[in-house]
Structure 1
Amino acid sequence: MVQRRPEEAGNWIRYANFEMKNGDVARARNVFERAVKKVPLADDEEEDDGAGQLFEAFAEFEQWCKDAEDAL
């Protein structure tokens, strides 16, 4: 889906979550990094902000990674 609709944040988030569930943190991070380049910012505040959803998911992912590292 990210190839067909790269502008949709939800596709990227699902893809990154898939990689995380399969234990591949590096690939999940790569998915988020690629997504940041593809998902456009909203032009106005009332428009659905997929980029905001993406950045929130990316931040949660990074926090999870930090928590996992601290647990070791």
Structure 2
Amino acid sequence: MKNLFLEIHNQVSDIWDERKGLDWTNKTHEQQRIINRLENKVKKLRETLNEFDKEFIFLRDFYLGEK
């Protein structure tokens, strides 16, 4: 769980850094490259968040005995 949390943190930081790059460039082709990288990183973040959610639900059910 800790590793997933750190991975999420790192992915969000990467996305934020890419987003800042979008503010600094005024070239359309460079903006498109940044947007493409952002889309890929957001997709990966969604996958990681789904993993985190599954892990959290498992731990909640295990420790609280809920279903």
TM interval, shorter chain, is 0.3 to 0.5
Structure with bigger gyration radius? 2
TM-score (norm 2): 0.48
